[in-house]
């Protein structure tokens, strides 16, 4: 004779409400080693959420955050480049030299500026001591 559902089911399973946070739901599933949770509203079943649903939502959020971070990075690079061109071209500091080189090479990215700063610092220490810094 085959087993019946009532023989293997767990009565009174953990549930969630629409007001619960998804973080709470994720923790609940992880701690209890369960993959599905019924969502109850005023003692009425309204849905079942699976770990797959939560994962899909998280992936969507991460994709959005990556796009947002990329947009911020591009805007920051643009602003820094514009500021460097406007404020530092006439100076003689290391930063000014970086700005001038950036303009000469038509590059305004932070990465480029960072590399140039590193090279200038290295050449400065070499010219002072005759050999590169140990650092």
Partner 1 sequence: MSMTVSELLTDKAKQAPAATLFSIGSDAGLAEAVAFMNEKGISSVIVTQSGKMQSLITLG
Binding site for partner 1 (CB under 8 A): 2-6, 8-13, 16-25, 34-36, 38-39, 45-50, 52-54, 57, 60-61
Q: Taking the complex as a whole, how short is the minimal distance between the CB of residue 108 and partner 1, in angstroms?
A: 35
Q: Taking the complex as a whole, how short is the minimal distance between the CB of residue 85 and partner 1, in angstroms?
A: 39
Nearer to partner 1, 31 or 104 (CB): 31
Residue 81 tokens, joined: 């480049």
Cβ–Cβ under 8 Å, residues 37 and 49: yes
Which H helix or E strand runs over 49? strand 44-50
Distance in angstroms (rounded) separating the CA atoms of residues 55 and 49? 11
Nearer to partner 1, 9 or 42 (CB): 9
Q: Taking the complex as a whole, how short is the minimal distance between the CB of residue 104 and partner 1, in angstroms?
A: 46
SS3 call for 134: coil
Nearer to partner 1, 4 or 93 (CB): 4
Nearer to partner 1, 60 or 105 (CB): 60
Q: Taking the complex as a whole, how short is the minimal distance between the CB of residue 68 and partner 1, in angstroms?
A: 15
Nearer to partner 1, 9 or 134 (CB): 9
Sequence-distant (6+) residues with CB within 8 A of 1 are: none
Q: Taking the complex as a whole, how short is the minimal distance between the CB of residue 66 and partner 1, in angstroms?
A: 17
Residue recorded with tokens 């947002």? 68
Radius of gyration of the chain (CA): 29
Residue recorded with tokens 């949770």? 37
């Amino acid at each position: 004779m085959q087993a019946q559902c009532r023989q293997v089911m767990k009565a009174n399973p953990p549930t969630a409400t629409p007001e619960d946070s998804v973080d709470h739901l994720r923790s609940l599933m992880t701690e209890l080693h369960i993959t599905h949770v019924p969502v109850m509203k005023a003692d009425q079943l309204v849905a079942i959420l699976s770990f797959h649903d939560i994962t899909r939502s998280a992936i969507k959020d991460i994709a959005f955050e990556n796009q947002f971070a990329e947009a911020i990075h591009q805007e920051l690079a643009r602003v820094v480049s514009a500021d460097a061109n406007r404020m530092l071209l006439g100076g003689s500091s290391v930063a000014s030299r970086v700005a001038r080189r950036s303009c000469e090479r038509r590059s305004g990215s932070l990465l480029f500026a960072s590399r140039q700063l590193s090279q200038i610092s290295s050449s400065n220490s070499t010219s002072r001591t005759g050999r590169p810094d140990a650092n």
